[in-house]
């Protein structure tokens, strides 16, 4: 079945449908990760996005239920130069994900790099270009979207009851890899909804603020909750959690032109000058700053990749230390935090 991607500026990229029938609307973005395609599609941080893989072949090593980062796919569509299957493509169909192969992904990535992430529609089957274009142009932009509530758990749940410390995780779109690494590091883990009251969490040894999709700026209630936690309980923020810590501490955030998505992003540890190669997935950032609280910066654009607020016992990183999958340079960060809580 034929298919196509239609960007909001009218650019059309044809392809062949290898996923679910129908159409998908969202923000077209790209990731430079060469592995982890199943983890990426099931990562809640990709909510309302259409993913273009820069890797030339996707699906080579199949799928496995244990690799999924959540109970279902959150990316709305997948765009590939060459899809390998049948296990991967069968999974896309069964999961209801619209997907195209045969797309000129090189040209598409160059387009998104130069023009920025764009509203778009992916269609499988016969759809008129002008209809798809009108739909793409009618979509709300990602800037200003509060999406954490759409992907967060509705009720608290216990992930792990064994550990030397008790950690509460606020779920803004949490990856399972984060929960697994916390438990492996020795934490008993309980997960709470995005709108949990700060007073419920102060009895824990620490609170981890998870990753998640969308713009941190409209998350005013969530930011106030983080502000209410600072100084009362140790806090560790990851990705969107990092941005909320930053906003609670007075730093500013903004939308990146095309985001940081991939498993090869270098960040500089300001104190040791060591460079970590990291996994990242975000379209918004903490703006560059010379503040002494800054611990990591992006070597791509200088944006703030880490904070340490020592007076309130809080830290955060923009990248993914759980790296599920990805480079393992940052793996010790979660273990070190849990060890400090237990000390």
**Alpha carbons 52 and 79: distance in angstroms, whole number:** 5
Told to judge if 320 belongs to the known catalytic residues of this protein, a careful annotator would answer: yes
Distance of CA 57 to the CA centre of its chain: 22
C-alpha distances (whole Å) from 60 to each of 36, 84, 101, 295 are: 11, 5, 14, 37
Strand ranges for 54-145 from DSSP E: 57-58, 77-79, 82-83, 98-101, 118-124
322 is catalytic: yes
Marked catalytic residue, from 74, 242, 260, 320? 320
Residue found under tokens 């690799």: 67
- For residue 203, give the nearest of 176, 184, 185, 229 by alpha carbon: 229
Token reading at 113: 């790099």
- Find where tokens 């090189």 sit: 106
Closest CA to 320 of 190, 129, 176: 176
Whether residue 199 is preceded by a cis peptide bond, meaning omega within 30 degrees of 0, is no
Q: Is 249 left (phi over 0), alpha (psi -120 to 50) or beta?
A: alpha
252/311 Cα distance (integer angstroms): 20
Catalytic one among 239, 242, 260, 282?
239
Cβ-based neighbour number of residue 144 at 10 Å: 11
| Phi, psi torsion values for 310, nearest 5 degrees | -65, -30
The CB density around residue 250, as the number of other CB atoms within 10 Å, is 10
- The span from the CA of 56 to the CA of 137, in Å, is 29
By CB neighbour count within 10 A (0-12 exposed, 13-18 middle, 19+ buried), where does 292 fall?
Answer: exposed
16 among known catalytic residues: no
What amino acid positions are annotated as catalytic residues?
239, 320, 322
């Amino acid at each position: 079945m034929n298919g196509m991607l239609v960007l909001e500026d009218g650019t059309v990229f044809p392809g062949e449908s290898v996923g679910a029938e129908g159409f998908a609307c969202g923000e077209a973005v790209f990731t430079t990760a060469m592995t982890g395609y199943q983890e990426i599609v099931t990562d809640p941080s990709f909510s309302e996005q259409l993913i273009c893989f820069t890797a030339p072949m996707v699906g080579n090593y199949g799928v496995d239920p244990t690799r999924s980062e959540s109970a279902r796919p959150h990316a709305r569509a997948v765009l590939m130069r060459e899809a390998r299957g049948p296990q991967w493509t069968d999974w896309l169909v069964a999961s209801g994900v619209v997907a195209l192969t045969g797309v000129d992904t090189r040209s598409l990535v160059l387009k998104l790099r130069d023009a920025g992430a764009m509203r778009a529609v992916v269609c499988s089957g016969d759809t008129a270009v002008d209809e798809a274009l009108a739909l793409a142009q009618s979509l709300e932009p990602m800037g200003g979207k509060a999406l954490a509530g759409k992907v967060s758990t509705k009720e608290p749940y216990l992930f792990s009851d064994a550990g030397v410390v008790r950690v509460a995780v606020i779920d803004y779109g949490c990856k399972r890899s984060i929960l697994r690494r916390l438990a492996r590091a020795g934490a008993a883990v309980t997960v709470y909804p995005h709108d949990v009251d700060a007073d419920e969490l102060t009895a824990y040894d620490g609170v981890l603020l998870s990753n998640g999709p969308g713009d941190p700026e409209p998350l005013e209630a969530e930011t106030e909750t983080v502000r209410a936690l600072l100084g009362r309980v140790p806090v560790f923020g990851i990705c969107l959690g990092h941005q909320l810590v930053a906003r609670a501490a007075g730093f500013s955030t903004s939308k990146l032109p095309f985001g940081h998505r991939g498993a090869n992003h270098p960040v500089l540890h300001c104190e040791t000058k060591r460079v970590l190669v990291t996994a990242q997935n975000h379209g918004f950032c903490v703006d560059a700053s010379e503040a002494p609280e800054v611990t990591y910066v992006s070597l791509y654009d200088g944006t703030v990749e880490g904070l340490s607020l020592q007076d309130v016992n809080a830290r955060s990183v923009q990248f993914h230390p759980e790296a599920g999958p990805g480079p393992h340079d940052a793996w010790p960060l979660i273990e070190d935090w849990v060890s400090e809580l237990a000390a």
